[in-house]
Homo-oligomer: A and B are copies of this chain.
Amino acid sequence: MNTEQADEMTRRVMSYSKNMDFKTYSGIATFFRANLCEDLSEVDVALVGLPTDAGLTQRTGARHGPREVRSQSCNILYYNPQTKVIPFELARIADIGDVRLLNSFNLDRVIAEIHEFYVKLQEAGVVPVTVGGDHSITYPILKALGAKRPVGLVHVDSHIDATGRIADSTVHHGAPFKNAVDDGVLDPKRTVHIAIRDPAAEFETFAHETGQTVIDIDRFYELGVKGVIAETRRIVGDGPTYISFDIDGLDPAYAPGTGTPAVGGITSHEAKKLLQGLRGLDIIGGDLVEVSPPFDSAGITALAGAQLAFEILCLAAEAFAKRRAV
């Protein structure tokens, strides 16, 4: 690219949102400076905040995640220097604000409200990229997105999150992928869990018995990032695939601000490369969950979360453009 081309590109991209501003601290913070928009007919890929931690079992604070990730996302803006993708060139992208939940004291009802919201997005043909919130939210999202056809899953996390009843409830932030398989909206054969190192992993017999793949942290480093990418692509194949990234997949040094930190995780560079290796998959949505600002240090967790959400946005926009082109 020469200077003229670069300038032209900059001008064009800046025009996609009236919020674009190189001063990261200035202006109302939206995800990646996208326009705020509530009219779903004007949106292809929606950035959604889902501020709830009703499903948490340990440290709290994920309800504060969307606001801080929005703030830090202003450091990231619009361009992916490694993949050269500019998602705003590929789809109409908007921040549609936070899901406004009525309930917050009864997880079952929170889950039902979330489901209702994503059914509407699904009906409007909008691809959701969501920032949580705790991990229980992925179940109602998948329930909406996989209603017609079970989806595949790329899941990065320190925990498998396919466990059973905890605290007298089958829904919670450790259960979304059992809930989704039980409901028939997630295809366990096309499901891969990456960077796992939680004590409960061994006891998550459901995942193993239903044929889900677990790449635990030791296997991750045996395979290397490229090997993990290859294995992941093999498992999820060409079908519609959802990405769920729990920020505690990163090591606590990279993501202290989270509810159930687990020592000995991957680096943010490895996480970026992993996601960048998923280009070409049929991504139909994704989420970045479990950023807990009250436990963060200097915003680095929210910043890492924003970066990873941006990688997911790039994948979702590319996949959208590819589907549209067909």
CB within 8 Å of B: which residues of A?
Answer: 1-3, 5-6, 9-10, 21-30, 36, 51, 53-55, 57-61, 63-64, 67, 70-71, 75-82, 84, 95, 97-98, 100-109, 166-169, 171-172, 196-203, 205-206, 209, 216-218, 221, 251-254, 256-257, 260-265, 267-269, 271-273, 294-300, 303-304, 307-308
Contact = CB atoms under 8 A, between A and B. Distances in A.
B298 A297 contact: yes
A303 B105 contact: no
A167 B104 contact: yes
Contact of A263 (B53, B104, B168, B272): B272
A261 B300 contact: yes
Contacts of A218: 82, 273
Contacts of A77: 199
Contact of A60 (B60, B67, B97, B166): B60
A296 B253 CA distance: 11
Contacts of A28: 28-30, 36, 70, 95, 97-98
Contact of A27 (B100, B257, B267): B100
A218 B83 CA distance: 11
- In this complex, the member of A9, A63, A101, A272 whose beta carbon has the largest number of chain B beta carbons within 10 angstroms is A63
18 contacts: A5-B205, A23-B57, A25-B51, A26-B51, A28-B98, A59-B294, A60-B64, A77-B199, A79-B203, A221-B269, A252-B303, A253-B267, A253-B268, A253-B300, A256-B299, A263-B269, A264-B268, A264-B272
A238 to B, nearest CB: 26
A199 B61 contact: no
A37 to B, nearest CB: 12
Contacts of A76: 199
Contact of A105 (B55, B97, B199): B55
Going nearest first, the 4 A-B pairs with the smallest beta carbon separation are A294-B294, A256-B298, A60-B60, A105-B107
Nearest to A61: B60
Given A79-B202, A82-B218, A297-B300, 5 more contacts: A27-B97, A28-B95, A57-B104, A251-B254, A297-B298
B108 A294 contact: no
A23 B60 CA distance: 11
Contacts of A251: 253-254, 267-269
A291 to B, nearest CB: 12
